[in-house]
Structures are given as C-alpha cells and as structure tokens.
Copies of this chain bind each other. A is one copy, B any other.
Amino acid sequence: MNKLRPGQIRRLVMYYHYLRDNPDLSTRGSISSGELADIIDVDDTQVRKDFAAIGVRGQPRIGFDAKEISIAIRSALHLDHVCDAIIVGAGRLGGAIASYPDFNHYGLKIKAIFDADEKKVGTRIAGLKVNSIINLESEMKRIQAMVGILSVPAVAAQEIADRLVRAGIRAIWNFAPTQVIVPERIRLVNVHLSASLAELCYCVRCKCKGE
C-alpha cells in the first residue's frame, strides 16, 4: 500500500472515530460517501478516494460497509500494532494525557510516567505510579518505549528531549509550549495549542467564518 499523507491520515481518523462512536451504523451496515462527507465536512469524492486508497470498495446505490471501513482503517493506520510510550511530566497536562480514553483505540500503551518533583513520585495517575526522572534511563532500557510524550514546562523540554533521544526513543509528542530540536531520524510532532488558539481568536475577532 502507498504511504499515506498527513491529510489522509487525519481524514481516516475522523471517519474511524465517527463510525466507532455511532454503533447504530454497524446495525444499518452501510454508509454512503455523501453522508460521511457531510459529517466530516469534506467532498464526497474525497471520501471515495480515501477509501479506494485503503482498498475499500463500495456498492453503487448502497454505499460502503461500515464494518469493512473500520477494519481497513485500523489496518492502514497500523492501529493494531501497539507501541509503548512513556510520559515525562506528571502535572495536570501529563495526567490529562495519561487519562486520555482514546489511547487504547490508537495503539498506544502508556508504560510509565516520570516527574522531576519528588513530591509527585510515588503518587498514582491513571493507574500508574509516578517514577522519578532520575530513573528515566534505566527504565527506558527495560521498557524500550518508541514514543515519548513531553508534558514538562518549556524550560525543561529540550533537556528531557535530549535524554529521551539518547535513551533510544523513536518519536516525541511534544506538548511543551516551546520548540525542541531533535536529530533528523526522530519523528517529532508538536501539539501547538497556541496556533490553534490564535486561529480561533483571530476568527472571532474578525467575525470571519468556518475553519
């Protein structure tokens, strides 16, 4: 199968999410590209192309099989290929991420949470005992996590990122409101809340519409 592009991945996730959250669809069985298009707010041609790309074929006058779509998306996105992750930063944000209910559905397994604050060490978040950041390297050797989630203050982000990289992390999901620099081979995805926020506020202030 061809490599999926970011836009495609995002749309596939949206379709998947909608199908999962509307179990009545499994009963009904099928859904048309037009109906999905309206919900996700894309063109119906786009939907059909996305499905074609992951090998799902529909039936004229009927539509696409909901169950088949879900299975094909899980397969195309490798959602069943679980990978391990650790969270660094057990503050409110770290806790919120650890409790995020969707991780199960997206193949990410949180194996450990670290924090520099010794007062937090030992407390429990989302069923995991917070570990001291001192043990990051030794625990990484044991866990061999692929994904590191950064929810530390901006000032600490670069240092922790460096340590994660040295410890063999393969990807970093950065929630810290700063830029971290990592080697070429490391996959970095920043969650830039400020950009999303700026867009929202700009549009409110200009009374301009739609996303």
Interface residues of A (CB under 8 A from B): 3-4, 6, 9-10, 12-14, 17-18, 21, 39, 77-79, 81, 83, 91-93, 95-96, 99-103, 105-108, 146-147, 154, 170-171, 173, 177-179, 184-185, 187-189, 191-206, 208-211
- If A95-B92, A188-B211, A199-B10 touch, whether A204 touches B18 (CB-CB below 8 Å) is no
Specify how many copies of this chain sit in the oligomer: 2
| Across-interface contacts of A210 in B (CB, < 8 A) | 184, 187
Of the candidates B14, B78, B101, the one whose C-beta lies within 8 Å of that of A201 is B78
Inter-chain contact B102/A91, CB cutoff 8 Å: no
A-B contact pairs, 12 of them (CB 8 A): A6-B199, A9-B199, A39-B179, A77-B198, A77-B201, A78-B201, A93-B93, A102-B177, A102-B193, A103-B197, A107-B201, A187-B204
**New A-B pairs, 13, CB < 8 Å, besides A96-B96, A106-B198:** A13-B195, A17-B179, A17-B194, A79-B198, A92-B96, A105-B194, A147-B204, A171-B201, A173-B200, A184-B210, A185-B209, A191-B193, A191-B196
Of the candidates B18, B77, B100, B201, the one whose C-beta lies within 8 Å of that of A147 is B201
CA distance A103 to B197 in the complex (A): 9
Which of A39, A91, A198, A199 has the most chain B CB within a 10 Å cutoff? A198
The smallest C-beta distance from A154 to any residue of chain B, in angstroms, reads 8
CA distance A28 to B18 in the complex (A): 51
Of the candidates B9, B91, B194, the one whose C-beta lies within 8 Å of that of A198 is B9
